Amino acid sequence: VHGYSCSNKKSLCLIKAGAVEKEKLEEAKGVHDAGARSRRDVDGCVKSFEKIPHTGRNGWLNLVRFWRKDYFSQLHKHQERTFRDLGPIYREHVGSHKSVNIMMPVDIGELFRAEGLHPQRMTLQPWATHRETRKHSKGVFLKNGEEWRADRLLLNKEVMMSAAVKRFLPLLDEVAKDFCQMLQARVDREGRGKEGKRSLTIDPSPDLFRFALEASCHVLYGERIGLFSSTPSMESQKFIWAVEQMLATTPPLLYLPHRLLLHIGAPLWTQHATAWDHIFSHAEARIQRGYQRLSSLPRSVSEARAAGGQYTGVLGQLMEKGQLSLDLIKANITELMAGGVDTTAVPLQFALFELGRNPQVQEEIRQQVMASWASAAGDPQKALQGAPLLKGTINVILRLYPVGITVQRMPVKDIVLQNYHIPAGTMVQACLYPLGRSSQVFQNPHIFDPRRWGSSSRDDGQKAEGSGFRSLAFGFGARQCVGRRIAENEMQLFLMHVSFRKFYRFESDIKTKYTLILLPESPPKITFRKL
């Protein structure tokens, strides 16, 4: 792009791979039609940023429209409709928030190639403001630049590297086994039918939230917190409520002047800050207990436990190495805790629903799991490796129901997307819900088929250029979700153990809503039965 110009000074000449070729534009249907028509007269020159299709220039009028039409709770559907109406790229200005939205893999690849050494995404300012007003340190989620990179590299060693995964996998496996035993006991106790063939229809979401928190805490602190008992602690139930409240109050605050709301004591800000206060106080209590437990051990005992393979959790590993200050350890452990409940419990709701209404797929997974488990000799890592359909299931669930519906980057240099000039520093969002359901990217996108992720072939249901940028639920590159390995393995182990039971969906379909994550409008009911 650089060093070239056309007679129109607002345009640049087309020399980058991010632009769509004319032939492909003419082949494109559906969401591409409007965008293709608007670009066929460019005569080889890149169009200016101002010519990108948009949803309205006045951010505050757009904000009122969002409130009236309830787009906040249906943002994923709004994005899907807007791509259908305006084409594969558009600008949006809502309140104080401005972005360029894209959905095609070729454009997403171009964006990520311009993310630089310190990738920058949208900062969740309400979260950052809470940390600043409460004098809390920020974890890597809210940091940028060299400070982010230094902390992130240290965290990666404990949560992302293969050696770390090998250490915490048995802890996740233990929780998943215990959960499924608890579930079976409940079916035996409360189910209907003959002895040995009882079935039970329930809303599993409260149990799934308890599972996710128990699993996260086991990995983070190296100890169980007892959420599967008949009387789980009210403290932990309040923590789950606080996370849900925090997620629900974040989206509107992204579009409003939250510091003004803070200044006037607006109820929305008060609810948000109170939820975060509870999250921090819960995490602080657990961290203090872990710190006291680990500090009370003589160094020789601590070293012996580590040498003997006894895992002390992410907290213990970070403390023993001493490369992060205690305040930074607290900040990052709290972020991992807050981000590790809904973001795994909710996809598991969707997974149970889809597997329940696709019994043939469920049976295929079950047979693969049983064969793999039999040959793994109790090794959860080997069992997962021998059952790739588990990972395929998680991939297809996160394609159809992405937890976070956008991945953002601010390119460090000017780029060209869909033949439009995008200046460096522009907030660009890859919109995952429309991407995952686009027939331009996936053949038969609404079909639930975990096998389509088991091959690199172009014939396995994948379409379009930039095909490496189709599965982005955990983000991409150096700035991908720091808890990715915990979440992926936690969900796969859950599905592995639950597959030893049969289950069916109670409802025929499921509607979704958006808070800060994608959720079922009402949790699906599932019927469980012992094999």
- Is position 481 annotated in a ligand binding site? yes
The percent of residues in the chain predicted with pLDDT above 90, rounded, is 70
132 compared with 295, residue with greater pLDDT: 132
Looking at residue 164, what is its pLDDT?
95
12 found inside a domain: no
How far is CA 514 from its chain centroid?
A: 13
Structure tokens at 200: 């039970």
Over 90: is that where the pLDDT of 463 sits? no
Looking at residue 299, what is its pLDDT?
62
Q: Please name every residue paired with 134 in a beta bridge, in sequence order, or none if there are none.
A: none
User: Taking Cα atoms as reference points, which of 6, 359, 10, 309 lies closest to residue 168?
Assistant: 309
Looking at residue 462, what is its pLDDT?
60
Residue 23: pLDDT band (50, 70, 90) is very low
Residue 399: pLDDT band (50, 70, 90) is very high
Q: What is the DSSP letter of 140?
A: G
Q: How does pLDDT run across 43-73, given as a tens digit for each residue?
A: 568 999 999 999 999 999 999 999 999 999 9
Over 80: is that where the pLDDT of 41 sits? no
Q: How does pLDDT run across 293-303, given as a tens digit for each residue?
A: 878 777 655 55
- Residues 325 and 462: their CA atoms lie apart, in Å, by 45
114 found inside a domain: no
Q: How many CB atoms sit inside 10 A of residue 156's CB?
A: 15
306 compared with 267, residue with greater pLDDT: 267
Residue 323, SS3?
coil
Looking at residue 193, what is its pLDDT?
86
333 found inside a domain: yes
409 compared with 253, residue with greater pLDDT: 409
Structure tokens at 159: 């949560």
Structure tokens at 169: 């996998």
Q: What is the DSSP letter of 473?
A: T
Give mean pLDDT, residues 297-312.
Answer: 62
Q: How many CB atoms sit inside 10 A of residue 166's CB?
A: 13
Q: How does pLDDT run across 383-395, given as a tens digit for each residue?
A: 999 999 999 999 9
Over 50: is that where the pLDDT of 139 sits? yes
Looking at residue 296, what is its pLDDT?
79
Q: What is the DSSP letter of 343?
A: H
Q: What mean pLDDT, rounded, does the chain reach?
A: 86
Check the CA dihedral 450-451-452-455 and report its sign.
positive
Q: How many CB atoms sit inside 10 A of residue 463's CB?
A: 15
Give mean pLDDT, residues 412-425.
Answer: 97
106 found inside a domain: no
Residue 454: pLDDT band (50, 70, 90) is low
Q: How does pLDDT run across 143-195, given as a tens digit for each residue?
A: 999 999 999 999 999 999 999 999 999 999 999 999 999 999 999 899 888 87
Q: β-strand 89-94 against 97-102: which pairing, if any?
A: antiparallel
Over 50: is that where the pLDDT of 93 sits? yes
Decide if 139 contacts 328 (C-beta within 8 A).
yes
DSSP of 444-469 = STTS--GGGGS---TTSSB-SS-GGG
Give mean pLDDT, residues 408-424.
Answer: 97
Over 50: is that where the pLDDT of 111 sits? yes
377 found inside a domain: yes
- Residues constituting the chain: 531
104 found inside a domain: no
Print the domain residue range for 355. 126-401+475-529
Residue 357: pLDDT band (50, 70, 90) is very high
Over 90: is that where the pLDDT of 12 sits? no
pTM to 2 decimal places: 0.87
Amino acid, res. 172: L
The CATH number assigned to the domain holding 210 equals 1.10.630.10
Give mean pLDDT, residues 278-289.
Answer: 91
Q: How does pLDDT run across 323-354, given as a tens digit for each residue?
A: 999 999 999 999 999 999 999 999 999 999 99
Over 70: is that where the pLDDT of 263 sits? yes
207 found inside a domain: yes
Strand order in the sheet with 526-530: 199-202, 526-530, 501-505
Q: What is the total count of domains within the chain?
A: 1
481 compared with 1, residue with greater pLDDT: 481
Residue 363 CA: distances (Å) to CA of 68, 178, 183, 238, 357: 45, 22, 19, 37, 12
Q: How many CB atoms sit inside 10 A of residue 513's CB?
A: 17
Give mean pLDDT, residues 395-408.
Answer: 96
Over 80: is that where the pLDDT of 28 sits? no
212 found inside a domain: yes
Looking at residue 303, what is its pLDDT?
56
